[in-house]
Amino acid sequence: MNFINTIKEMQNLSTTWQLEGQHIGFVPTMGNLHAGHLSLVKKASEVCDKVVVSIFVNPLQFDDGQDFARYPRTIEEDQEELSAHKVDAVFVPDEQELYPLGKETTTKVEVPGISNILEGASRAGHFVGVTTVVNKLFNIVQPHIAVFGEKDFQQLHIIRQMVSDLNIPVEIIGMPTAREVDGLAMSSRNNRLDSARREIAPVLHQVLDEMREKILQGRADVPVLKQSALEQLSKAGFEPDYIELRDATNLQEPTDNTTERVILAAARLGEIRLIDNLRV
């Protein structure tokens, strides 16, 4: 496995592979890897000849400096974990090299509208940070395919739109959310939950699941269902941010023409913000 820290070295390796006719799969991460990330790596290795995983806690996508500072960084364990899988290169860029002019003055990539609803409404500038860094990583790694988790449903949607709008020659694959046995969506942030909050955390998934069941049984009073879900979360000890039923193809309010729906939710448990979603 190649451990790469510089942009030039990563670009040179990708160019060599491209010239050899190798198909390159890419999994961008912020590290602190769990089974969810590994399922993305597995998918990339099934559909490509070479797999690159990047590890970079991207300061541009954090609206809260403390959240950035406290984001778990476990680079040695991550590299060890990846060496046990079919990964050909781990790219760990340097912040200074990625943003030489600083994050305020660097060129940004924005998918308008959709970046400012749901997660974007609560986390100003978050998705501009994501699309900017993913675009840069695509230019550096030059993959044919990139694999993302559906847990970040809105992120996946926005990246697909960016790739389509900017004609980026990368195929995007979305993979189902990996869950703990109690239903909690796997996330690096879960490690920051104390044991009492870790016990409460699966309630987020349970509440989504109950709302989904009710909708499937024909309940059309969505505002009432939403209100009851928010109350259940508060009662369990969450500070809910939103629960929304949306059209899964555009994340707008469902209409009579909507065929695929998704419930998306975000809630804070102490200082940890958890998100989850379920297709209906």
By CB under 6 A, name the binding residues for ligand PAF: 28-30, 58, 61, 130, 133-134, 152, 155
Least distance (Å) between residue 271 CB and ligand PAF: 19
Least Å distance, CB 133 to ligand PAF, is: 5
Cα 215 off chain centre by: 26
Least separation in angstroms between residue 224's CB and ligand PAF is: 33
CA Rg value for the chain: 19
Tell me the C-alpha distance between 137 and 64, whole Å: 23
Q: Which helix (H) or strand (E) holds 51?
A: strand 50-55
Shorter beta-carbon distance to ligand PAF: residue 59 or 237: 59
Task: Give me 125's structure tokens.
Answer: 């500038």
C-beta of 17 vs 26, nearer to ligand PAF: 26
Which one is catalytic: 23, 34, 37, 205?
37
Structural tokens at position 161 = 């739109």
State which residue, 130 or 170, has the beta carbon closest to ligand PAF: 130
Tell whether the torsion through CA atoms of 50, 55, 58 and 64 is positive or negative.
positive
Question: Nearest 5 degrees, angle CA 262-CA 263-CA 265?
Answer: 140
Considering the complex, state which of residue 34 and residue 261 has its C-beta at the smaller distance from ligand PAF: 34
- Verify whether residue 34 is a known catalytic residue: no
Cβ proximity to ligand PAF: between 45 and 61 the closer is 61
What residues have CB less than 8 Å from 242, skipping those under 6 apart?
118, 121, 122, 264, 265, 266
Helix axis angle, 126-141 relative to 7-19, nearest 10°?
50
Q: Which active-site residues does the annotation give?
A: 37
